[in-house]
Chain A
Amino acid sequence: MENKEDNKPATVVEVVDQGPLGIKGSFILKDLKRGSESKPGEVWLCRCGKSKNKPFCDDSHKKND
Chain B
Amino acid sequence: MGNNKSFSGGRRYSNDDITVYWKPSACIHATYCFRELIEVFDPGRRPWVDMKAAPTDRIIEVVNMCPTDALTWKWNDNEKNKDVPQDQTNHVRFRRPELLDDEIAVNEVRPVVVKVMVDGPIVINGTFDFDNDGTRKEVKDSLISVCRCGASSKMPFCDGHHRKIGFTG
**Would you call A15 and B132 a contact (CB within 8 A)?**
yes
Contacts of A9 in B (CB 8 A): 128-129, 138
Chain B, interface residues (CB within 8 Å), range: 20 to 34
**Would you call B148 and A15 a contact (CB within 8 A)?**
no
Chain A, interface residues (CB within 8 Å), range: 20 to 34
Task: Give the nearest-CB partner of A32 in chain B.
Answer: B118
**Would you call B111 and A28 a contact (CB within 8 A)?**
yes
Answer yes or no: A63 CB below 8 A from chain B CBs. no
Q: How far is the CA of A20 from the CA of B157 in the complex (A)?
A: 13
Task: Give the nearest-CB partner of B146 in chain A.
Answer: A21
**Would you call B124 and A4 a contact (CB within 8 A)?**
no
**Distance (Å) between the CB of A49 and the closest chain B CB?**
4
Contacts of B151 in A (CB 8 A): 49
- Give residues in B with beta carbon < 8 Å to A: 107-109, 111-119, 122, 124, 126-133, 138-139, 144, 146-151, 156, 167, 169
A-B contact pairs, 5 of them (CB 8 A): A12-B129, A13-B124, A13-B131, A23-B114, A31-B116
